Structure 1
Amino acid sequence: MDLDLAQVRAFVLAAEELHFGRAAGHLSISQQALSKRIAALEARLGVRLLDRGGPGVRLTEAGARFLDPARRALAAGEQAAAAVVEAGRPLKVDVWGHLYAPMRTLAQVAARGERLDLELGHGRDLPSVSAALLHREIDAGFGRVHPPLDDGLAHRLVRLEPVDAVVSADHPLAAEPYLRPGQLRDSVLWIPGPLDRLDFLRHFADHFGIGRLAGGPNLGLDHFAAQIVAEPDCFSLFPADSPLPGVPGIRSIPLLEPTPLYAWSLLWRRDDTHRLLDSLLAAIADEGRRNRWVEYDPHRDWLP
């Protein structure tokens, strides 16, 4: 039986989203066109794959059996096409966690990696980048990975980056040469964005007993620094080797005993066959060894 992969893809997206509107949006087609593709597939197979009645969309028993082989068929089609058309295409990589400047690490890797042709973009957070990967809109993602993670994705730790406490020059602890995280219990942790997207800061607050949190939208580094300067009892966390914006009245203080480490990882689809993915992983490994990026001592460091 010859299957139309466009029809198979329409079914897989509808089965994953359980919503025709969202599935149609991923394909940039109308719901009516999506429904026609799935109906044609069902007619070809002679079975109903999706129940459309009631408040939502549900897989039938036949649809549940068909879903995993359908995914494999799409992956095989992607691999066949990639062998011909991807020879000159750059590796598409989305980054997230922009306040902590993920581009610095990728730029350092790309500068040493031979023939690394990367096309860099911006994702909002881990869920949005994961969705883009699963829908084959990008080839890889770079940021902080935390559970839950889809079984179709793989990741590798790239860098454990120490973070400092960033405070106003008027903060009571601003003159200290270094701080233990517990010394910040009486301060307010500034959260630059929704807390559910910044699980590192949430874990830090829970672990070290930071009871007072405040926040607002992430409007960039200058706004972040201005907020810290304007609130003398506030602090936030920032990569130790990343330059602060040139806002007067801001201080960066090392955190020791323990030093919090921010984990950066590369994320990709398990079935990805892009020719440059292995090259990127090799370049990351070389740069990591050269700069000791993944050193961790549980007696000295803290990881959530």
Structure 2
Amino acid sequence: MDLDLAQVRAFVLAAEELHFGHAAEELSISQQALSKRIARLESTLGRRLLDRGGRGVRLTEAGQRFLGPARQALTAADLAVAAVLDTHRPLRIDVWGHLYAPMRTLARVATGEPQLELGHGRDLPSVIAALLHGDIDAAFGRVHAPLPAGLTHRLVRLEPVDAILSVEHPLANAPTIRPAQLRDSVLWIPGALHRLDFLHRFAESFGIHERAEGANLGLDHFLADLAADTRRFSLLPADVPLPPRPAIRSVPLIGPTPLYAWSLLWRGNGGHPPPDALVSAFVAAAEHNRWLEYDPTRDWLPERNSVDAGVSATSRGAQPAGPTSQSRAQVKDQAGHRRA
């Protein structure tokens, strides 16, 4: 059976908007024309894909099954057209996890790459949607959920995480902190905890039951709220540059050291242009800077099993260097090295 891609596109937009008027406006056609396209598609498939009733538009069971593969079909078609008509446009890449400053890592790899067009995604779900829709070609951030079919990610950096706390916090003057020592503290969360997977899993793993949530209004606001409460703490990657603020301390975590896993994410069926050069640049940077050092006896990762496999897959002839005798304080002063 041959599918009409115009009909498939009409269905996908209606399924995403759950509103025929909005979907028709997106396609610059009438609502009647949109309805006819979807009706012809349903006739071809012999299945109803959308229920239209007084309670709005809803996906049927068949529609739910069809939606994912339909998106992939449209992406493949768009890539085929782009490969012929638009061979010189930049690679469009989004980043997410903005409080953890993903641009500082990307900038070390992408410098000298004039064919990059950078954007900012809100979070992983929004970036996944942009990839599936073909709005972007690749993305960079922490992958923490099963990915939809058609997407691929590659682990490129494991970054030690420090505890950030007020100078009046009882542990502020400690040279290092063990995560278990934070059980009597309050985890400060810049957003809803269920949306911040790394902090959520850290709290669950180390028995930190007191949490305080607030809006993510940027790093300065985040640090000011920490300084205002002597029991609060949060986590930031060790080499995130902090503005001068005498009321804040950054203390290395050990026993175990939490690691934040950064990945490059893209469509597995290829992009335009393909991200091969960017992947190669990340692999080279990971080897040179020892970004993939990982010892399960001393490090903590919420996604340990997938990262175990990812380190092996990502290294490919460039295995991470072994442990060194440096202190965590030395590591923070040497930007090229991952950890002690």
Point out the more displaced range, 114-123 or 98-107: 114-123
Separation (CA, whole Å) in 2 of partners of 1:23 and 1:86: 28
Tell me, in whole angstroms, the C-alpha distance in 1 between the residues paired with 2:253 and 2:23.
49
Query: Aligned pair in 2 of structure 1 residues 35, 174: CA closer, same or farther (>3 Å)?
Result: farther
Q: Distance in 2 between matches of 1:106 and 1:212?
A: 34
Which runs of 5 or more structure 2 residues have no equivalent in the other structure?
303-340
Question: In 2, are the aligned partners of 1:10 and 1:34 still within 8 Å (CA)?
Answer: no
Deviates more, 1:114-123 or 1:83-92: 114-123
Q: What is the CA-CA distance between 1:71 and the residue it aligns to?
A: 4.8
Aligned-residue offset at 1:6: 3.2
Q: Determine the C-alpha separation between the residues in 2 that align with 1:53 and 1:37.
A: 13
My pick for the range that moved more, 140-149 or 36-45, is 36-45
**Distance between the aligned counterparts of 1:69 and 1:204, measured in 2?**
35
Choose between structure 1 and 2 for higher RCO, CA contacts under 8 A separated by at least 6 residues: 1
Q: Structure 1 unaligned segments of length 5 or more: list them.
A: none
| CA deviation string 1:134-164 (max 9, x = no partner) | 1111111111111232122111111111010
CA pair 118-35 structure 1, distance change in 2 beyond 3 A: farther
* C-alpha separation in 2, matches of 1:192 and 1:6: 42
Residue 73 to residue 150, structure 1, CA distance change in 2 (3 Å): closer
TM-score by length of 1: 0.87
- The one-letter code matched in structure 1 to 2:58 is V
Partner residue, 2:245: 247
Distance 1:60 1:199 in 2: 29
Partner of 1:50: 49
Per-residue deviation, residues 191-244 of structure 1 (Å, max 9, x unmatched): 011112211001111111111111200111111111111111111111111221
CA distance in 2, matches of 1:9, 1:91: 24
**How far apart are the structure 1 equivalents of 2:65 and 2:198?**
39
Letter in 2 for 1:171: H
8 A Cα contact 2:153 2:266, kept in partner: yes
Taking a change above 3 Å as real, the CA distance of residues 9 and 294 of structure 1, as seen in their structure-2 partners, is same
Question: What pairs with 1:1-304 in structure 2 (closer than 5 Å)?
Answer: 5-15=5-15, 17=16, 19-20=18-19, 24=23, 28-29=26-27, 33=30, 36-40=33-37, 42-43=39-40, 46-47=43-44, 49-54=48-53, 55=55, 56-59=57-60, 70-71=70-71, 73-111=73-111, 115=113, 117-304=115-302
* 1:162 aligned partner, one-letter code: P
Amino acid at match of 1:57: R
**CA distance in 1: counterparts of 2:205 and 2:107, whole angstroms:** 32
State the distance in 1 between where 2:214 and 2:178 align.
Answer: 26
Percent identity (aligned): 59
SS in 1 for 2:211: strand
Distance 1:253 1:69 in 2: 47
Q: Distance in 2 between matches of 1:240 and 1:60?
A: 47
TM-score w.r.t. structure 2 length? 0.79
Structure 2: distance between partners of 1:65 and 1:197: 26
